[in-house]
Structure 1
Amino acid sequence: MSSALLAIGRRRTTAERRRDRERDIIRATREIFDERGTIDAQIDDIAKRVGINKALIYRHFAGKEELFALTLVDYLGELDSQLEAVDNPRRAPLNRLKALSETFVDFCLTYPAFTDCAMSLLRRTGEQLFGEITEPVMVKLGTAMAAPLDRIAVILKAGQRAGVFDEVDTAYLANHLYTQTLGSLHMARVGLIVSGSQPGHPVVHHADVGTVRSTAITATLATAVGQKALTTKKTRSARAGDIS
């Protein structure tokens, strides 16, 4: 074998080892996320889990934020696989959206760290993200986010054609539903709701997970139907003689 072919083989082996190491680091990060949450996930602990010096992590990733972004990519890949598994194009659009919403909500409840990661990303501006994450990783993250969002948008378009969903830009609405659900599930993550029984005396209550789940799913369906529901209600009220 020529020296040139040997050199190519060594480069390929080095590249494969690098990819394997990156996968190991991301896998360890997700394991720690699922065990402890994102706040308590430290680079030292991730390095120990993989069995490497933490300095090696920074050879593979630009920083902690980039590693966390790629871990979110891993979550999103699993989420999209679950959404694909439950979607049935033969069902009515409302039932399809309900199935995807249930799966998304249950995924967030099963993996609270996913909600934390996704919410952390949403709190950053585009400028901040590009300052913390390299462009290739941003492309991976965008691609991973687009997969489930496009799946939702397809159902929204089907619902619009059937006349049951609001005539709103489906890409926007899919992003809105994604963000809306994450916000709702963050309430379950915090576990608290606040009310004011008397002026100046706020009361803190426990947030029931079952209630959060059902409300989040209902909110998704209601938002998708949108103005259609209001129009139907007005028509029924007019027929009943209600002019309020």
Structure 2
Amino acid sequence: MDATTRPASEPQPRGSRPKSTAPMSATAQRRRQRADEILRATRSLFDAAGVRDAQIEDIARAVGINRAIIYRHFTGKEELFALTLVAYLDEIQTRMRSADDETLEPPERLRLICGAFLDYGEEYPAFVDCALTLLRTPGTELMNDVAEGAMFRLGRAISGALQCLVDVLDAGSTSGNFRVDDPQLLANVLYTQALGGLQLARLRLVVSEASPGLPEVQSVSFDVVREYLLQAAIAMATGVPNR
């Protein structure tokens, strides 16, 4: 999915009609309120029951509406996933910005903001599920299933979180602490790597070979996985790029 894809104007929850300078009508206000209710119910259900078990019927029941009404506001479950992920990402961006300290050297700043991201993912496993579900969806399929306006909101939320990383990577490149040819690309790599690492941290299991042909499963803590991911992030930022 290309997080930079966007329409020319600010979207509504569904579709991509531009904002009007005129006051919102009572009908439009009710539609916006109902869409927000549905998104809040989706988020609550994700946090309580997980993404995999969340059903449209459950969301409709939580709001007190018929499931058909949900489809008047959203194109389907994929769009609900996308816009619920927006809320998670907005919270993550706030945490990453709060964790940053511009008085520190870039490697320590990178460690702090990556740590904030990982800690949020540990606290809200439904965020990881939601993000990974969308990452596994082919881009063309996602574009067909999610309205353009919703895709813009998702792309803006992702790029906002990634920009926290880019700002630190740029600062490190300027100071000579980092050697990064493409900060945007590395930020995307760190984002997807963190999601995979968080999934491993949730499993708390690593597979190794005890002897040739004999697998062995061992437990691993979130703190251990977290430390490896932080070290990997700094190593990628400080490493010599391949030419």
Q: Specify if TM > 0.5.
A: yes
Partner in structure 2 of residue 20 of structure 1: 33
Q: Does 1:170 align with 2:183?
A: yes
Is there any run of 5+ residues in structure 2 with no aligned partner, and where? 1-21
Stretches of 4+ aligned residues off by more than 4 angstroms: none
Partner in structure 2 of residue 63 of structure 1: 76
Partner in structure 2 of residue 147 of structure 1: 160
Q: TM-score, normalised by structure 2?
A: 0.86
| Secondary structure class of the residue paired with 2:115 | helix
1:131 maps to a residue whose letter is N
Is there any run of 5+ residues in structure 1 with no aligned partner, and where? 1-7, 231-244
Q: Does 1:221 align with 2:234?
A: yes
Partner in structure 1 of residue 126 of structure 2: 113
Task: Give 2:138's match in structure 1, choosing from 103, 125, 136.
Answer: 125
Q: How big is the alpha-carbon RMSD for the aligned residues of Structure 1 and Structure 2?
A: 1.7
Kept in 1, the 8 Å contact 2:180–2:237? The answer is: no
| Greater mean alpha carbon deviation, residues 77-86 or residues 140-149 | 77-86
Q: TM-score, normalised by structure 1?
A: 0.86
Matches of 1:200 and 1:132 in 2, distance apart?
A: 44
Deviation at 1:131, TM superposition (A): 1.7
Q: Deviations over 1:107-131 (max 9, x none)?
A: 0000111111111121222212112
| Secondary structure class of the residue paired with 1:227 | coil
Q: Does 1:85 align with 2:85?
A: no
Matches of 1:109 and 1:207 in 2, distance apart?
A: 14
Which structure has the highest helix share of the two? 1
| Secondary structure class of the residue paired with 1:193 | strand
Q: Does 1:53 align with 2:66?
A: yes
Q: Which has the higher contact order (CA 8 A, sep 6+)?
A: 2
Partner in structure 1 of residue 9 of structure 2: none
Matches of 1:58 and 1:207 in 2, distance apart?
A: 42
Q: Does 1:198 align with 2:205?
A: no
Matches of 1:85 and 1:167 in 2, distance apart?
A: 24
Matches of 1:74 and 1:132 in 2, distance apart?
A: 19
1:58 maps to a residue whose letter is Y
| Greater mean alpha carbon deviation, residues 89-98 or residues 16-25 | 89-98
Matches of 2:162 and 2:197 in 1, distance apart?
A: 17
Matches of 1:124 and 1:161 in 2, distance apart?
A: 36
Q: Deviations over 1:8-67 (max 9, x none)?
A: 98x711111111111111111111111111001111111111111111111110000111
Bigger radius of gyration, 1 or 2?
Answer: 1
Q: Does 1:159 align with 2:172?
A: yes
Deviation at 1:101, TM superposition (A): 0.8
| Secondary structure class of the residue paired with 2:101 | coil
Deviation at 1:206, TM superposition (A): 2.4
Count the aligned residue pairs.
Answer: 221
Task: Give 2:200's match in structure 1, choosing from 173, 179, 187.
Answer: 187
Q: Percent identity?
A: 45
Kept in 1, the 8 Å contact 2:100–2:112? The answer is: yes
Kept in 1, the 8 Å contact 2:81–2:134? The answer is: no
Deviation at 1:91, TM superposition (A): 2.0
Task: Give 2:88's match in structure 1, choosing from 68, 75, 79.
Answer: 75
Kept in 2, the 8 Å contact 1:105–1:181? The answer is: yes
2:98 maps to a residue whose letter is A
Partner in structure 2 of residue 241 of structure 1: none
